[in-house]
Amino acid sequence: MRILIADKHDLFRQSLTLMLRGIYEQTMSLEETDNCKDMWELLDQKQFDLIVTGSNILDDKEQYTLRKIRYRSKQAPILAVMENQCPKLMESLKRHRPNGIICKTATPDTYKEALIALIEGRRHLYAAQTTEDNPKPQNVQLQQAKLTKRQKGVLRLIAEGQSNRDIAAILRLSEGTVKVHVTAILKTLDVKNRTQAMLLVQRNQIQI
């Protein structure tokens, strides 16, 4: 299973990578890029089973870019990720009929549903569900302020895509202590898992 993720946001690519590895574990080969030039080179050099592209990496003629991706990808399914629930962008993307469209703020379960559907050869409904149980943007900074200095350090490493074991090694803590900090962070930020925490940091551009 070879997957390409093309998006300008590092944290989004990292969180999606974690999600995919959770689904497919060691059976997946993943490439990622933050620009069109590298994406074209990767598509010319390798054959992918799935392509995830953010609308932020498409140019003003997004339909032309999607057609170009389709041509170079040799019919691999394409999941287009919208930055926001813009009806105009949604309709523009739908006209070219990618295999799936999803809003970047969709819930992790919605992402998993979309990814599994596309990999299994099915289309995914044009979903724009948001993570309603996440804190509202105006409350995020307040909730982040409730984190201890150590918890902020752990959150920064979570946002970088580090595992509990890696965080323990970097901060010279036991893995059990890291798990305690992660649980406290998720509770304080009012999110269900570390993937939601990563997306929350990215969406609200939290400086840790």
How many separate domains does the chain show?
A: 2
Q: Which residues touch 43 (CB under 8 Å, ≥6 apart)?
A: 4, 51, 69, 72, 73
Which pLDDT score, from 0 to 100, does residue 169 have?
93
Q: Which residues touch 134 (CB under 8 Å, ≥6 apart)?
A: 190, 191, 196, 199, 200
Same-domain status, 17 and 46: yes
Residue in the structure block whose two tokens are 């940091």: 201
- The rounded percent of the chain whose pLDDT value lies above 70 is 74
71 within some domain: yes
44 within some domain: yes
**Which one, of 51, 117, 128, lies nearest residue 90 by Cα?**
128
Same-domain status, 99 and 142: no
Same-domain status, 43 and 112: yes
Domain end among 93, 119, 145: 119
Which pLDDT score, from 0 to 100, does residue 143 have?
60
Q: Which residues touch 130 (CB under 8 Å, ≥6 apart)?
A: 85, 103, 105, 106, 107
Which residue segment(s) compose the domain that 190 sits in? 137-203
Same-domain status, 24 and 108: yes
Instruction: List pLDDT tens digits, range 8-34.
Output: 888 888 888 888 877 766 577 889 999
Q: Which residues touch 12 (CB under 8 Å, ≥6 apart)?
A: 54, 81, 104, 199, 202
4-8, 11-15, 67-71, 189-193 — which is least confidently predicted?
A: 67-71
126 within some domain: no
DSSP track, the chain: -EEEEE-S-HHHHHHHHHHHHHHHGGG-EEEEESSHHHHHHHHHH---SEEEEEGGGS-S-HHHHHHHHHHHTTT--EEEEESS--HHHHHHHHHT--SEEEETT--HHHHHHHHHHHHTT-----B----TTSPPHHHHHHHHHTS-HHHHHHHHHHHTT--HHHHHHHHT--HHHHHHHHHHHHHHHT-SSHHHHHHHHHHTT---
pLDDT score of 144 more than 70: no
CB distance 50 to 30 below 8 Å: no
Same-domain status, 115 and 146: no
Identify the CATH number of the domain in which residue 43 sits: 3.40.50.2300
Instruction: List pLDDT tens digits, range 174-190.
Output: 999 999 999 999 888 88
